[in-house]
Structure 1
């Protein structure tokens, strides 16, 4: 492999199996059953690789394209944690290549019709905390294997047509089913169809209005504003408290917190902890 015939090629594979290949060469390359195309306007910065467990520091950037990486797919999170590999390739003989990076996409930002994605190396998961956290509130995520709640069960979801939406953040509904107030706070709003189909947001406020209406506010506005008539699915939220697990979800046997732990004040000053002297 010579310097004059060396280019870079990288492949991105999403969780749903969609695979795209890119190269900074001026012509197509093909190896490993992947075609690497130069016409997507995507490039990658020089890699900074550490010898320890530090994250390999690099970025991929490029223009949003209807037939490659679209803004809608990025907003929907379809490219989150996508697998990425990068090679140095002799374009005159693609069999002569060297793998220089393997990892995944990290944080993705968008601006003025372009995107920028952080590249995370294979050592990134080693930086994540391991083991259980001893805390009064539950450590499970609602609906996961540790929690065990079936979110499709009765009373935990509802599907409605959008009637009013401001800035992709504030939704209003009339004739809403009779759910308790704040039932969907910390839950999820998922857009099911329309241009914004697949986008989701976390519910900040869920307010019951007079006359059976409902006002649902997201923490952050959706990148594409749903139109009236588009359907959304609202899923109940959980504040991780033991009483919520018991009364709202009837799931106390699977509660993953430690509600009877003494408070931090008692640990620092046990003599002021209401008679809990350690006996």
Structure 2
């Protein structure tokens, strides 16, 4: 339970109170913004909380034990800080939201009620509903590794150890046009074979969403030129004239790691793991159970 400052506690003991809720939102990229269900802007601890969003909250509860408590926050997509494209791009996934109780006549009288993490977000009719999950949510997240044949590292990270600075594994280009199916036609990648950037990452260098990264589903060459298919639902559209950088793609298989990147020694999967059919099958004549690698 939150410890209420004495001045705020005295105010709450009156028959008539002047309190409201304020929410301080901290995104994963470090951006901090404030919102309130009051009808005018409030400044608390140096941060201005906007009233235009029309936030409203459902019943909140706190239970004993390790169960995850939830509360819904609803608002309109009318704030300059919150737009449908950013929500679709996942910028608010896992963001921290702190709920304050504030005396709007004396904003210095405030108390932190709870800290939560944004979970599921649904959008419709220019409104959104964000489900807030208590900090015990972290206890439900897997903290170990899954044992599987595919690699679970990201190309070029500390576990993969592949040097993306090697010649031929990165490139830059310019968007020539964008098709309705999520395909962009680009220039600057003529020296690369089709498919080289499939499963790779494209990072926008210019445009309204500079710095945004997107996963590449396909890389091909057709009658339009060099075409990249971006993963659907990636957020704001990339436009003609935008520049980008791009890194080679990896499908997480041992064969690709060995042949394309010569990095088999750092492969972070278990390519020789027997499948379910082998694990649950009977020993039969002619079966290959000699201990040799499944993947050469």
Give the TM-score category using the shorter length.
Answer: 0.7 to 0.9
Check if 1:262 corresponds to 2:274: yes
Matching residue of 1:216: 228
Cα 1:26–1:209 shift into 2, 3 Å? closer
Displacement after TM superposition at 1:11 (Å): 0.6
Name the larger-Rg structure: 2
Displacement after TM superposition at 1:28 (Å): 3.6
Residue-pair matches, total: 278
Give the Cα separation in 1 of the matches to 2:164 and 2:61: 43
Assess if the C-alpha contact under 8 Å between 2:88 and 2:233 holds in 1: no
Runs of 5+ unmatched residues, structure 1: none
Runs of 5+ unmatched residues, structure 2: 1-11, 292-296
Cα 1:43–1:200 shift into 2, 3 Å? farther
Give the Cα separation in 2 of the matches to 1:249 and 1:43: 51
Assess if the C-alpha contact under 8 Å between 2:86 and 2:235 holds in 1: no
SS of the residue aligned with 1:271?
Answer: coil
Displacement after TM superposition at 1:169 (Å): 0.6
Matching residue of 2:8: none
Give the Cα separation in 2 of the matches to 1:7 and 1:157: 51
Assess if the C-alpha contact under 8 Å between 2:45 and 2:108 holds in 1: no
Assess if the C-alpha contact under 8 Å between 1:76 and 1:200 holds in 2: no
Cα 1:221–1:95 shift into 2, 3 Å? closer
Give the Cα separation in 1 of the matches to 2:34 and 2:196: 44
**TM-score of the superposition, structure 1-length normalised?**
0.84
Displacement after TM superposition at 1:155 (Å): 2.2
Matching residue of 2:142: 129
Matching residue of 2:251: 239
Check if 1:22 corresponds to 2:35: yes
Cα 1:34–1:169 shift into 2, 3 Å? same
Displacement after TM superposition at 1:109 (Å): 4.0
Cα 1:181–1:63 shift into 2, 3 Å? same
Cα 1:175–1:160 shift into 2, 3 Å? closer
Matching residue of 1:116: 129
Q: Deviations over 1:127-173 (max 9, x none)?
A: 11122222122122223322223445432222211112112611223
Assess if the C-alpha contact under 8 Å between 1:167 and 1:225 holds in 2: no
Displacement after TM superposition at 1:269 (Å): 1.3
Cα 1:45–1:29 shift into 2, 3 Å? same
1:174-193 equivalences under 5 Å are: 176-193=189-206
Assess if the C-alpha contact under 8 Å between 1:40 and 1:65 holds in 2: yes
- CA-atom RMSD in angstroms: 3.0
Matching residue of 1:67: 80
SS of the residue aligned with 1:4?
Answer: coil
Assess if the C-alpha contact under 8 Å between 1:168 and 1:223 holds in 2: no
Cα 1:222–1:214 shift into 2, 3 Å? same
Assess if the C-alpha contact under 8 Å between 2:53 and 2:79 holds in 1: no
SS of the residue aligned with 2:59?
Answer: coil
Cα 1:115–1:232 shift into 2, 3 Å? farther
Cα 1:176–1:97 shift into 2, 3 Å? closer
Displacement after TM superposition at 1:268 (Å): 0.5
Check if 1:78 corresponds to 2:95: no
Displacement after TM superposition at 1:96 (Å): 4.6
SS of the residue aligned with 1:123?
Answer: helix
1:91 is aligned, of 90, 94, 104, to 104
